[in-house]
Amino acid sequence: MAFRCKGGVAWVALLVAVAALASAAQGFPNPFGHEEFTESYYDETCPNAQSIVRSVMERHAAANPRTAPAILRLFFHDCFVNGGDSIDPSFAAQRRQECEQKHGNATAPFDERTPAKFDNAYYVDLLARRGLLTSDQELYTQGCETGDLVKTYAMNGDVFFADFARAMVKMGNIRPKHWWTPTEVRLKCSVANTHY
C-alpha cells in the first residue's frame, strides 16, 4: 500500500522523511543543501508525514514484532541521531556496515566476547565503549548512577551473579494485585501455556 501526499511523496520516501525529521529535531543542517531545515519542513507538502510514518511503523511492528524494536532503536535512534561519543566510532561503523550488508535483517549479540554464555562480558563491553545500542551504552556515562554498577559488574562477575540471583527471586515473588488473577510463567512469551 502506498501513501501519497501533495507533491507526490510516496511511502518509499518515508524513511527519508523520518531521517529528515530526526535530523531537524536534533538541529542538524539540511542534508539536501536547500531551504531552512526545521521540524515543520514537511508541513506544506505532506502535513501528515508524522502520522503516516507512525502508521507504517505500527503496522510493521504488528506484523513482525521481533524486528520492530530493533528497527526503531538501531535505525531511527542510533543511525540518524548523533549519539555523541559514548560508543567507540570504529565499533559503531562496523555494526552499521554489517547492518547495511544484511539489508536490515541483521542480528548481533549484545556481547561480542561470549555471545552464547551468560556472564558479565556485556558490562566489560560497555566499559570499552562497545555497547550494541546507544541506550545501553548510556548506562556507563560518566556522572551517571548506573556507571558505578557497570564498573562493579564488569570488574567482579560474582557481584553480578549475586545481584542477578536476588533480582530473579524478587521478580519471582511478584504477585498479581488480586488473588483470582491467573498467572503463569510462559515457555514462550507470546503464547499462553497449554494446560492439560
pLDDT one-digit tens code per residue, 143-159: 678 889 999 999 999 99
What local confidence, expressed as pLDDT, does residue 6 receive?
42
Residue 144: what residue type?
Answer: C
pLDDT one-digit tens code per residue, 108-123: 788 888 988 889 999 9
Q: Is the distance from CB of 153 to CB of 119 less than 8 angstroms?
A: no
**85 annotated to bind ligand:** no
CB under 8 Å to 29, separation ≥6 — which residues? 37
Q: Hunting for cell 543543501 — which residue is that?
A: 33
Alpha carbon of 134 to those of 34, 65, 126, 140, 160: distances in Å?
Answer: 30, 21, 10, 10, 22
Which CATH code, of 1.10.3470.10, 2.60.120.40, 3.40.1010.20, 1.10.420.10, is assigned to 110-177? 1.10.420.10
CB under 8 Å to 193, separation ≥6 — which residues? 184, 186, 187
Domain ranges of the chain: 1-82, 110-177
**119 annotated to bind ligand:** yes
Q: Is the distance from CB of 157 to CB of 120 less than 8 angstroms?
A: yes
Residue 55 has pLDDT above 60, yes or no: yes
The torsion defined by the Cα of 120, 121, 127 and 132, in degrees rounded to 10, comes to -120
pLDDT one-digit tens code per residue, 126-148: 999 998 877 788 888 766 788 89
Residue 191, helix vs strand vs coil: strand
What local confidence, expressed as pLDDT, does residue 110 receive?
80
**148 annotated to bind ligand:** no
Give the integer Cα–Cα distance in Å for 97 and 79. 11
Residue 102, helix vs strand vs coil: coil
